Amino acid sequence: MVDLQFFEPKDLPELNYELDEIQAQFSALPKQALERIEARNQNDDFFAYPITIFYDEKVAGFCVLDFGDDKLALTDNADSVLLRSLSINPEFQGNGIGKSVMIVLDHFIKEHFKDCNEIVLSVNERNDLAFQIYLKTGYIFEGKKIEGRSGPQFVMFKILD
């Protein structure tokens, strides 16, 4: 069973995993994402929330819910959240965790961020596995692309009801 919880420092040792060369092109590692959040916090930008992904009560992955202005490159909706830096520890991959995260994320956001009504994300156009998971879990791609650090990204969104 997949569970999402706000990151706590005690989770860090188990989030110290490496992604293979291909996956590393598509997502920041938890440590990198946490360093970026810390840098932003130094500038009074406290709008990014690190999330630990648990699978059967074990730390299995990580993502960030970003309510800052970066999301406005993907949507005009000020009440949206940008999902970024999603990764699953390679030891846990192949168990459907990524798909489950995308399903339980809706409830987590509605529970903790009541004003949020949309999730936006960008996925590298070469990351077909992730793109297919997002489509299967209700995300919509309307053809919008942006340039990302590893090439063109498809912009996807999901309206929360």
CB 17 within 8 A of CB 89: yes
**What is the residue extent of each domain of the chain?**
2-159
Which residues does residue 52 pair with via DSSP β-bridges, in sequence order? 5, 62
Structure confidence at residue 161 (pLDDT): 83
Q: Which residue has the tokens 């009504």?
A: 117
The CA radius of gyration of the chain, in Å to the nearest whole number, is 15
Instruction: Give tens-digit pLDDT for 12-67.
Output: 999 999 999 889 889 999 999 999 999 998 888 889 999 999 999 999 999 999 99
CB 143 within 8 A of CB 157: no
pLDDT band at 126 (very low <50, low <70, confident <90, very high): very high
Amino acid sitting at position 41: N
User: For residue 86, which of 95, 97, 70 has the smallest C-alpha distance?
Assistant: 97
Q: What fold does the segment set 2-159 form as a domain?
A: Aminopeptidase (3.40.630)
> For residues 83 and 2, what is the distance between their CA atoms, to the nearest angstrom?
17
CB 155 within 8 A of CB 120: yes
> For residues 137 and 114, what is the distance between their CA atoms, to the nearest angstrom?
21
Instruction: Give tens-digit pLDDT for 67-94.
Output: 999 999 999 999 999 999 999 999 999 9
> 112 — phi, psi (to 5°)?
-100, -20
pLDDT band at 145 (very low <50, low <70, confident <90, very high): very high
- Does 105 score more than 90 pLDDT? yes
